Structure 1
Amino acid sequence: MKARFGVKRKAALGITALVAIAASAAPVSATTVTHTDTDTDTKWGRSDHWGVITRNTIGSPVAALRNGPFGSFGVTGPSARPPFGRGSLGIEVADHSTSLTPPSEAADFGNEVDFFGAPVLGLRQVGFHVFQTGENVSYGGAANLPNIRFEINPNLTATPSTYSSMVWNPPALPTTDLNRWSPYLDATTTGTWFLTGAAGTATNCSLSHQCTFQDLLTALNDGGTQPVIYSAAVSKGRDYMWIGAVDGLRINSLVYDFEPTMVRVRRAT
């Protein structure tokens, strides 16, 4: 199935997904998860729930499963190919292409089904690999990178709000990791997190005052009803132009391997 935005640009919907709500070790390698697995992680999985989240997509960005990228030219070794398989999630967003304020685009590629109702406080491992270019740095600085975003119900006693986006901003990559695939970026130990809306103000983990992963979970654990997840996604925007790719999205014990025709699920080992 394909979803088209605009006339010539398109974003292909991914298929095959499994949810992971159990802690595990760092992703040194991964093995493919089969449908015969019966543990909590894989029982939540479905095969057709990854794709462009239309509610959160603005303009005509690209969020498409693709082959590669391989390279850039002159780059050899493991960093010259996607970390898993042959494909990745290609993302392209523009910064001045809409009539809205701000005029930039936003892309959201994720899963609105399999993570629904999962406990936010059950998140233990989160992260991905990214293909970053020098051009992207020139567009928006060294921290111009995609995000990981969980839509959640924060369930905070300090505010009646039942919706917030829980967003990870990755750290700036060193120049040695440009124009090639990055190492695994661990969202639980690097970068910063924030909550949108009233939840950000109530927890003091907002866009203007970002937090560590552990500080954010501590702020959400206020003794009342536990916060729950609505959806999980890789996102970009609305800010700077960015053209690149993401692979190996990890959520707890599972790694989501973005391939040209599917989202293959692997168990982190």
Structure 2
Amino acid sequence: MITRNTIGSPVAALRYGPYGSFGVTGPSSRPPYGQGSLGIEVADDSTSLNPPSEKADFGNEVDFFGDSVLALKQVGFRVFQTNENVGYGGAENMPNIRFEIDPNLSALPADNYSTMVWVPDAAPVTNRWSPFIDATTTGYWYLTGNETSCTQAAECSFQELKASLDDGGAKPTIYTASIGKGRDYMWIGAVDGLRINREIYDFEPNGVRTRRA
């Protein structure tokens, strides 16, 4: 867990499974890599804050520090989505991929922080593991600080967001990489096989394994 990005008392923990749901067999009934996954549980109305929902981020604050945002080429994951989650917040009630970054924009030299957020489309399947969902070609991206035209109200593709940060000056760099959920709807599910460029991160109960894509 990235402690400073946690709101409420959500769960983001390495776990076995999930396996199922009942009646589901074959490859989609088990985690795509190994025996485990990253389990995430957030509530929608459990804090005294506004909004009252929880937020969880599970990620890495060390290994991506200083890497180039513009060098990101491949990003995505596999998800275990349930019909219940769809009922809580609609078909696009899904976890996100988030990169905390230094935008390094020439027009905003004092702005050294923003978060790149990927909002996936609806999962292609429910109550089982999805195939790989490619964050570079599906869903949309935005910056939390409104540094460019890619805002939550003006959705951008992955390539559009990177282009908006490439203004000819110092290049944008990464602080952290994470999978997160909130602050919006209740969601209880799991993620596995996070891909960042040539590495796939396999979430297992006893740790995170790195695989070559």
Same fold (TM over 0.5): yes
| Cα distance in 2 for residues equivalent to 1:207 and 1:182 | 25
Counterpart of 1:121 in 2: which secondary structure?
Answer: coil
Q: Which amino acid is 1:249 matched to?
A: L
What is the deviation of 1:224?
A: 0.7
Q: Which amino acid is 2:62 matched to?
A: V
| 8 Å CA contact retained: 1:65, 1:88 | yes
Give unmatched runs, 5+ long, in structure 2. none
What is the deviation of 1:140?
A: 0.4
| Cα distance in 1 for residues equivalent to 2:143 and 2:69 | 13
Choose from 162, 165, 168 the match for 2:112.
162
Q: Which amino acid is 1:193 matched to?
A: W
Counterpart of 1:178 in 2: which secondary structure?
Answer: coil
What is the deviation of 1:157?
A: 1.5
The residue number in structure 1 matching 2:212 is 267
Q: Structure 1 residue 258 and structure 2 residue 207: aligned?
A: no
Counterpart of 2:70 in 1: which secondary structure?
Answer: helix
| 8 Å CA contact retained: 1:61, 1:107 | yes
Choose from 55, 60, 76 the match for 2:25.
76
Choose from 180, 183, 187 the match for 1:238.
183
| 8 Å CA contact retained: 1:161, 1:198 | no
Give unmatched runs, 5+ long, in structure 1. 1-51
Residues 141-187 of structure 1: CA deviation (Å, up to 9, x unaligned)? 0000000000000011122310000000011124xx10000010000
| Cα distance in 2 for residues equivalent to 1:179 and 1:98 | 28
Q: Which amino acid is 1:104 matched to?
A: S
| Cα distance in 2 for residues equivalent to 1:148 and 1:243 | 16
The residue number in structure 2 matching 1:173 is 123
Between the aligned residues of both structures, percent identity stands at 71
| Cα distance in 2 for residues equivalent to 1:161 and 1:210 | 21
| Cα distance in 2 for residues equivalent to 1:241 and 1:165 | 22
Q: Structure 1 residue 191 and structure 2 residue 139: aligned?
A: yes
What is the deviation of 1:58?
A: 0.3
Equivalent residues in 2 for 1:110-189, closer than 5 Å? 110-159=59-108, 160-174=110-124, 177-189=125-137
| Cα distance in 2 for residues equivalent to 1:143 and 1:132 | 10
| Cα distance in 1 for residues equivalent to 2:104 and 2:146 | 11
| Aligned-residue RMSD, C-alpha | 0.6
Choose from 33, 46, 53 the match for 2:2.
53
More helix by share: 1
| Cα distance in 2 for residues equivalent to 1:247 and 1:223 | 36
How many residues in Structure 1 have an aligned counterpart in Structure 2? 212
TM-score, normalised relative to structure 1: 0.78
Segments of 4+ in structure 1 off by > 2 A? none
Q: Which amino acid is 2:207 matched to?
A: M
| Cα distance in 2 for residues equivalent to 1:108 and 1:198 | 21
What is the deviation of 1:107?
A: 0.4
